[in-house]
Structure 1
Amino acid sequence: MITVVIHETKVVKILRGGNELGINNKNIGKCFVKLAKDFPDDILIWSEERFFKNINYQAIAAHFQNRLTMVSFAVNGEFFINNRIGYIDSSAMLKMSKQHAMASWRMSANVGALNASIVNAYENDFLRDFPFEYTLTSIAKRAMPKGLFCYHDPKILKDTFDVVETNFNPQYAYLFKFAKEHYKSVWIYFLLISFLIYDKRCMIFSFFKGVTLKRKSAVQLKENKMSVVDGSALESSTIDVIIPTIGRKKYLYDVLVDLKNQTHLPKKVIIVEQNPVKNSTSELEYLSTENWPFEIIHEFTNIAGVCRARNIALDHATSDYLFLADDDIRIELSFIKEALTKMINLDVKGVTFSCLKPNQDKSYFIDHQTGIFGSGCSIIENSGIKFDQKFEFGFGEDLEFGMQLRESGIDIIFFSVPEIIHLKAPMGGFRTKFIHKWDNEKIQPKPSPTVLYSKQKHGVQEQILGYKMLLFFNELKRVSFSELPTFLSQFQKKWEASKYWAERL
């Protein structure tokens, strides 16, 4: 490990293995480029001088089981690219935990680390005449989809440090530059309007400093070199499978056959069968008439609701890992073994898999951190977290469950392989339309209260305001000039109705 100590915008000390190295260049970016060339396999740590003595080297080292990693910690919770980026970014990576490491492309210059290979791959970025924190954030934003794992982790500083309050002065010109270099061109205009509407500020000069820039592309990173997983670690890892089902007897049977043939067998398969028809009984006789090489726990209920069904199943789960599966998927016989092997290798606790229809073209081939979550195509560590039943028969329960996992310290990784085939079977069973409390209201809420509830629970305020403006413009496209006064009044009333019901969920 090499530690680069920074005071304001200059390098003041460099340490490697307890020995002080000569400072080849006080410019931070140029110093990192030189160090990366001289020590291409080292972990490069940066720290502001005031936090240097409190670096937790053990916590930093723990992140680098995966070489393609970058981690930082914003001590005062302030980022160079601040929360106003939420006006144009709806991702799940803006609201940070104060206790756990969370995926984040927003990097801090307070303290952090990355592998020298990342500096070598993005050498031109480090040589630009841009603030160090902008450079780090730009690389993280572009490299995340290419397989760079990026984290905000409070644990990389020891808890004995004294927080030094600073008068943090946001540099909005760089916010507009960032918008132009990392998002489609339309979003810099959207950002300008958002400042005008919500902050009552005309940022035209900052806008012009960014509007002429071109969008930056990502560099293809070298494939991550993984260690060979300890066979005993894999063999001792247990997994339960959770499947809610309704009216898909044949498809569920095929799923069970795939599980029966796995080279790493599940310990339990927990099936929650729903049929809302009064006095109905189970149609899954093969659960008891056939022999299965795992324990089957079968719960039958006349109450429909996938969140409730999954929570019933979660109450029975006792294994190390949980495979949350749909009742109409197909998997190869080595699926569980391959999945757990990769998870143990990368030391990750949550994975969502490529889940495509038969013959559907594949778009993503690189394993990477993701803001999505699929509750029918994922494996997670058994953490005791439950689905929020406020989302029952609404929208967004998958994403909300994923956010709960992230906020508890479980990162969600997209695995391109092994793959799941999703048959998209016809909707099974007898289903009745669920009536929400707001369905009979004169003013219908828009957006759905469950969507707004999720954004309030897991997002920052700027993301909610940005979502409101985006919804406004999308609705405005369908409005004629003569309808405009009525539309403006109705839009606000529908938004307020959504807020009202979201607060009561």
Structure 2
Amino acid sequence: MPFSFLSYLQPVHYFRLPKRDGHYAFPNVAALPEDILKEIPEDAHYKSQLSKDYDRSWQALHRGYIGKADTYQQFEPLPLADNYRFAFKYFSKWWVLWVLLMRLAGLNNPFKELNAYWQVRNTPRSTAYNTPIAQLTLTSKTDLVNRSPFVSVIIPTLNRYAYLKDVLTDLEQQDYRHFEVIVVDQSQPFQPEFYKAYNLELQLTHQTERALWLARNTAIKRAKGNYILLFDDDSRVSADWISNHLKCLDYFQADLSSGVSISAVGAEVPAHYAYFRVSDQLDTGNVLIKRSVFETIGLFDRQFEKQRMGDGEFGLRAYLNGFLNVSNPLAKRLHLKVGTGGLRDMGSWDAFRTQNLWQPRPIPSVLYLFRSYFGTKAAKRALWRNIPISIMPYRFKGNKWLVVLGIPLSLLLLPLVVLQVAKSWRLSGIKMKEGARIERL
């Protein structure tokens, strides 16, 4: 990563890792077009010229540059004060303080750390994410839409007929018509007559085992389309949803189009999801993927069955293999996040929050992902970063002050939390010994 403090702030982020070809996601500033550089002036307050360049590269990637410029293959060490300045610019001051404490606990020179921190303590928080470097507009029709490729829309469902009726109705109203719908129904009781009311090319499979990744893998293998559109059974979309996904792939010559999810009608899309950019996540409730991606890297890893982050692992695998995933603000869905059915019947709402005090924290598949791809040190830093703020229940996740309250609470509950983490570490180790369960297409 361009700034070393990201190993504390984002220890298990996609962009921390180089791709298989040795290149990172960050564009080399020397290779960026002049019109892009004009929109990202140098920050003269950095001590090092390299820091200024790396900051511009960070901004280019996170503010929406999706181009052909060469990317960095390695990063040089930077002055300590520049690392603190970067952290203050793009992260909360509380997270910067946390980095300072972690570095002091790691026996770094306290005089150098405190001096560097103090020098740049008044660095203002950047608002760069609110301003994309280029306002991109997809044309009303693209070559790909005009060629009318066949799309396979895949929906696993479990005890959600009341919501699935709206999902299928929205698909009936799509302005792009060349698609099939593959539903893998795990409901009990199974109601095949439910599907007769819809004017859709529909493949229906009844799966007796409640297994999300098995359902998706089964549907992908049966899909006739060269474009696989993954969808959830508790979502609503507009009539241009499919066409906007296709336009994104075409416009950027991308391999994956990751749509945006909002959880309330009329809710504002978060600033960093409001424009096209290279995506650092994958949500299998709203993503269009070329079939060739599955043919190259395989299907979903069933080590994540009935647990969490199977979609995150697939997105990371695609990134590492050089596939371009674009965050697409036009392909929005309303995610109802209903409290019954679906994954709610199988596991936790959240990767780090347990349903009861005796369950492992985090969900073992989370540590399996972290340890497998990022290593033990990064996994431990991710635990230090996320465990304290996960103590408060999921329903308080959006309340900043209650989440902060979780930090002292985690100290009071320290013996129990240690046992939860140890259990998760042990179970994730078993997964690692077993190895990935990735079937080839």
Asked if 1:497 is matched to 2:407, the reply is no
Per-residue deviation at 1:347?
Answer: 1.4
- Give the Å deviation of 1:339: 2.2
> 2:36 aligned with 1:118, yes or no?
yes
Of the three residues 206, 216, 221, the one matched with 2:116 is 206
- The match for 1:273 is 185
Task: Report what 2:20 is aligned to.
Answer: 98
Picking from 277, 291, 315, the partner of 1:368 is: 277
In structure 2, C-alpha distance between the alignment counterparts of 1:465 and 1:192, rounded to whole Å:
17
- 1:459 maps onto 2:381 in alignment: no
Pick closer, same or farther for the CA change 1:263–1:311 going to 2, 3 Å.
same
- Cα contact 1:443–1:497 (8 A) shared by 2: no
Equivalent of 2:323, from 410, 413, 431? 410
Q: What SS does structure 2 have at the residue aligned with 1:123?
A: coil
Quote the residue 1:32 is aligned against.
none
Evaluate the alpha carbon distance shift between residue 247 and residue 473 of structure 1 in structure 2; reply closer, same or farther with a 3 A threshold. closer
Shift of 1:350: 1.4
- 8 A contact 1:357–1:422 mirrored in 2: yes
CA distance in 1 between counterparts of 2:237 and 2:407 reads: 47
Alpha-carbon distance between aligned partners in 1 of 2:406 and 2:166, rounded to the nearest angstrom: 45
Residue in structure 2 matched with residue 81 of structure 1 by the alignment? 3
Residues 1:317 and 2:227 aligned together: no
Q: Which of 175, 183, 194 is the equivalent residue of 2:102?
A: 194
Output the CA distance in 1 between the equivalents of 2:381 and 2:405.
Answer: 17
Q: Distance in 1 between matches of 2:42 and 2:318?
A: 36
Cα distance in structure 1, aligned partners of 2:250 and 2:312 = 24
What is the one-letter code of the residue matched to 1:464? Answer: A
Deviation at 1:346, TM superposition (A): 1.5
Q: Secondary structure in 1 aligned to 2:340? A: coil
Match of 1:172 among 51, 57, 80: 80
Is 1:134 paired with 2:24? no
Structure 1 stretch displaced more, 219-228 or 395-404: 219-228
Residues 86-113 of structure 1: per-residue CA shift (max 9 Å, x gap): 2122533211213276644xx657xx52
Work out the CA distance in 2 between the residues paired with 1:217 and 1:424: 30
Q: Spell out, residue by residue over 1:329-361, the C-alpha distance to the aligned partner (whole angstroms, 9 max, x if none).
A: 333333222321232012122122233345242
Structure 1, 186-195 or 442-451: larger mean CA deviation: 442-451
Whether 1:427 aligns to 2:340 is yes
Residues 182 and 345 of structure 1, relative CA distance in 2, 3 Å threshold: same
Change (3 A) 1:270 1:407: same
- Which residue does the alignment assign to 1:352? 258
**Distance change >3 Å, CA 443–CA 196, structure 1 → 2:** farther
Going from structure 1 to structure 2, the CA distance change for 1:430 and 1:129 (only over 3 Å counts) comes to closer
Contact 2:307 2:347 (8 Å CA) reproduced: no
Unaligned regions of 5+ residues in structure 2, if any? 349-353, 392-403, 432-441
Deviations 1:16-67 (A, max 9, x none): xxxxxxxxxxxxxxxxxxxxxxxxxxxxxxxxxxxxxxxxxxxxxxxxxxxx
The CA distance in 1 between the partners of 2:269 and 2:98, in whole Å, is 28
Equivalences for residues 146-185 of structure 1 within 5 A: 146-149=63-66, 169=77, 171-185=79-93
Q: Which residue number in structure 2 is paired with residue 389 of structure 1?
A: 302
Distance in structure 1 (CA, Å) of the matches to 2:145 and 2:239 = 20
- The Cα shift of 1:193 comes to 1.9
**How far 1:449 moved relative to its partner?**
1.6
CA displacement, residues 425-464 of structure 1 (integer Å, 9 cap, x when unaligned): 56349996679xxx9x997532222222222233365542
CA offsets 1:151-193 (integer angstroms, 9 cap, x no match): 9967x99xxxxxxx99x65533322222122211122222222
Percent of residue pairs identical: 19
1:272-291 matches, cutoff 5 A:
272-275=184-187, 277=188, 282-285=190-193, 287=195, 289=196
Give the length in aligned residue pairs: 400
Distance 1:362-1:460 versus aligned 2 partners, 3 A rule: farther
Q: Secondary structure at the match of 2:317?
A: helix
Amino acid in structure 1 at the alignment position of 2:361 = K
SS of 2:267's equivalent in the other structure is: coil
Q: Indicate the SS of the match to 1:387.
A: coil
Match of 2:284, as an amino acid?
S
Equivalent position of 2:126 in the other structure:
216
Structure with bigger strand share is: 1
Instruction: Work out whether residues 212 and 305 of structure 2, in 8 Å CA contact, stay in contact via their aligned partners in 1.
Output: yes
Matches of 1:286 and 1:492, distance apart in 2: 47
AA aligned opposite 1:381: K
* Structural RMSD (CA): 3.8
- What residue identity is the alignment partner of 2:99? L
Q: Compute the TM-score of the two structures, normalised by the length of structure 1.
A: 0.68
Cα pair distance change 1:386/1:101, threshold 3 Å: farther
Q: CA deviation at 1:198?
A: 3.4
Verify: 1:241 aligned to 2:153, yes or no: yes
Instruction: Tell me if the contact between 2:42 and 2:52 (Cα under 8 Å) persists in the aligned partners.
Output: no
Q: Secondary structure at the match of 2:233?
A: coil
Q: Which runs of 5+ in 1 are unaligned?
A: 1-78, 158-164
The answer (yes or no) to whether the contact 2:257–2:325 under 8 Å persists in 1 is yes
Q: 1:350 to 1:468 in 2, by over 3 A?
A: same
Aligned partners of 1:185 and 1:291: how far apart in 2? 52
Distance 2:165 2:39 in 1: 49
Q: Does 1:262 align with 2:174?
A: yes
